[in-house]
């Protein structure tokens, strides 16, 4: 799983996720969900660890899905 993103640290997150293949992007999403759950359980509170990350990752996955099957997204 965990892998360093192949771009410079100052590269915007949106561009970094575009550089990942589908499996890496899904792994990254799963890791953020796992970390959020661990932190939530540790502090026994509802914590939104990275809501923008999740939104951007899901948007990128939807975009890729639409690009593969354009008719399904119309």
Amino acid 47: pLDDT: 72
Where are the alpha helices (H) located in the chain, listed in sequence order? 13-18, 22-43, 51-68
Cβ contacts of 42 within 8 Å, gap of 6 or more: none
* Cβ atoms 40, 46 nearer than 8 A: yes
Amino acid 4: pLDDT: 52
For the chain, what are the domain ranges? Answer: 13-73
Mean pLDDT per 10-residue run, the chain (74 residues)?
56 89 91 85 77 86 87 60
Amino acid 6: pLDDT: 53
Amino acid 20: pLDDT: 94
Nearest to 18 by CA among 49, 50, 52, 63: 63
Cβ contacts of 57 within 8 Å, gap of 6 or more: 17, 25, 28, 29, 32
């Amino acid at each position: 799983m965990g892998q360093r993103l192949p771009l410079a640290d100052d590269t915007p997150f949106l561009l970094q996720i575009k550089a990942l293949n589908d499996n890496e992007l899904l792994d990254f999403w799963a890791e953020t969900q796992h970390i959020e759950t661990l932190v939530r359980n540790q502090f026994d509170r509802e914590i939104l660890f990275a809501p923008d990350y999740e939104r951007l990752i899901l948007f990128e996955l939807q975009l890729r899905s639409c690009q593969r099957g354009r008719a399904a997204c119309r």
